[in-house]
Amino acid sequence: MKVIQSAQNKQIKEWKKLATKKGRQKQKAYLLDGWHLVKEAFISDINISFLLVTENFKYLDEIETMNKDTHETIIISEEVANHLSETPSPQGVFAVVSLEDTQDENIVLQGAWLMLDAVQDPGNIGTMVRTADAAGFSGVIFGDGTADVYQPKVVRAMQGSQFHIKVITGSLGSWIQKMHTQHMPVFGTELNPDAKPYDTIEKQHDFAVIMGNEGNGMHKEFLQNTTCNLYIPIMGHAESLNVAVAAGILMFQLKA
């Protein structure tokens, strides 16, 4: 098995670039960091090109039984692991996996969809993908201005849910239009009593719900093009809810 000891190694330098959007697009790959995520990738049908493990990684035997023949396994030093990881104490296991083509416009619009309209915080975004998965949603559509799906902090917070549901990058305007054509209700969210309280809507099978930017909410052009807009009534004195919490409340309430 190949061994890489130095963080100055040329190949390691390339993989380090996977932390940037440019690097991911150039190499058409992204990096999984940590045992839970790597295991999820092995269970899924995603294409793993390289598995990087430190010499003492305790689940190495378990990985070898997982029967993916396509990848090359490389032993890395602790120094390399610390260099590649965005976390303070890496577990010593990484996988370089293929970037899915997330702009697939031929997708079948069925079930429940979450749309993100210029959401910024990568932790919130990843948590929303994880919650959409837990709520039985079909997928999440990342609209313009939303942080990149495969940014390390988003990947960490998704906890592998990108292997369970569709994750698409695209223009929300055209997706909303497609949903209207298919008579799927599209719910916008607006912290505004002109909207309907979220718990007055019947549970739905095929629909979409849109979450807006943390500070500014949804774009007006999208708010005006929804089937109806919803709000979560605030009972106390907090000004608003965290966007990932609000998305969780809405998804679990609306999904039949």
| Nearest distance in Å: CB 203, a second copy | 11
| Nearest distance in Å: CB 23, a second copy | 22
User: Cβ closer to a second copy: 75 or 122?
Assistant: 122
Q: Which uninterrupted H or E stretch holds 21? A: helix 21-27
Q: Tokens 């058409």 appear where?
A: 28
The span from the CA of 145 to the CA of 102, in Å, is 15
| Nearest distance in Å: CB 191, a second copy | 11
Q: What are 53's two structure tokens?
A: 């493990």
User: Cβ closer to a second copy: 178 or 255?
Assistant: 255
Reference 119, options 146, 157, 143, 142; nearest CA is 146
Asked if 230 contacts 197 with a C-beta cutoff of 8 angstroms, the reply is yes
| Nearest distance in Å: CB 197, a second copy | 11
Strands 29-33 and 93-98: antiparallel
The span from the CA of 84 to the CA of 96, in Å, is 11
The single-letter code of the amino acid at 88 is P
| Nearest distance in Å: CB 198, a second copy | 9
Phi and psi at residue 57, to the nearest 5° = -65, 125
Phi and psi at residue 106, to the nearest 5° = -95, 10
| Nearest distance in Å: CB 237, a second copy | 4
Longest dimension (CA), the chain: 63
Residues near a second copy, by CB under 8 A:
123, 127, 130-137, 157, 159, 161, 164-165, 232, 234-242, 244-249, 252, 255
User: Cβ closer to a second copy: 3 or 256?
Assistant: 256
Q: What are 183's two structure tokens?
A: 């008579």
User: Cβ closer to a second copy: 127 or 169?
Assistant: 127
User: Cβ closer to a second copy: 18 or 141?
Assistant: 141
User: Cβ closer to a second copy: 97 or 244?
Assistant: 244
